[in-house]
Amino acid sequence: MLVLSSPSGAGKTTISRALLQRDPNLTLSISATTRPMRPGEVDGKDYFFVDEAKFKAMIEGGEFLEHAFVFGHHYGTPRGPVEAALAAGTDVLFDIDWQGTQQLADDQKLGKDLVSVFILPPSTAELEKRLHTRAQDSEEVVRQRMAKAADEMSHYAEYDYIIVNRNVEESVASVDAILLAERLKRERQIGLSGFVAGLRGNP
């Protein structure tokens, strides 16, 4: 489970899309949310859009790996698709905040397979500029996001890796390198002991 977190506007969604395009063994965990669909978004591709009652029923049914209330809306990661992907040998990419990352880390079954990356903006001025440039939010929401960014960035020390996103291509290459290194860890290489036994002439 590869988690990318950042304040809004720091670039995690752009980096996530680039990783998914170039890595066939990586799939995106699609979150459920109670927020309204934005122009161009597709239900089941960008998010699973549900109402409050359905979301609360999913919480009560233990259907989420993690969930949080952010900017007036609920967000959560459905457990089923993630467990199915991991069981099939596919790595799963998460675009979630520090609260969700903590909940994943605390999961007794899946927490040990978590790799977390926090993406920082090069400066607060650049972060605010990016939020204005994408023009998805009102001035008031941009102000709220900037206020929340300071709190979010204070949690950087809880992550395994930190990337300052000065250049998107360089940041994508850095996450690629992290993913490769983590996949090469001894405990993640399935069938390694049998392979080595064969090399030593002890099949």
Domains of the chain by residue range: 2-197
Contacts of 172 (CB under 8 A, 6+ apart): 15, 18, 19, 22
Q: 31 or 129, which is more confident? A: 31
Residue 170's CB is within 10 A of a number of other CB atoms, namely 11
Average pLDDT for residues 137-150, to the nearest whole number?
82
**What are the Cα distances from residue 42, in Å, to 14, 36, 81, 93, 136?**
17, 11, 18, 19, 16
Q: What is the mean pLDDT of the segment spanning 110-126? A: 92
146 pLDDT band (50/70/90 cuts)?
Answer: confident
3-state DSSP call for residue 117? Answer: strand
Q: Which amino acid is at 66?
A: E
How confident is the model over 177-200, as a mean pLDDT?
Answer: 93
pLDDT band at 203; cut points 50, 70, 90: low
Distances (CA, A) of 145 to 9, 69, 75, 76, 116: 9, 14, 16, 19, 22
Instruction: Name the pLDDT band for 198 (thresholds 50, 70, 90).
Output: very high
Mean of the pLDDT values across residues 144-167? 93
Query: Mean pLDDT over residues 68-97, rounded?
Result: 92
The CATH H-level superfamily of 2-197 is P-loop containing nucleotide triphosphate hydrolases (3.40.50.300)
At 67 the three-state DSSP class reads strand
Pairing of strands 48-49, 32-33: parallel
Whether the pLDDT of residue 130 is over 90: the answer is no
pLDDT at 138 over 70: yes
- Cβ neighbours of 31 (radius 10 Å): 21
Mean pLDDT within 112-127: 92
Q: What's the pLDDT score for residue 135?
A: 62
- How many helices (H) and strands (E) would you count in the chain? 8, 9
* pLDDT, average across residues 26-44: 94
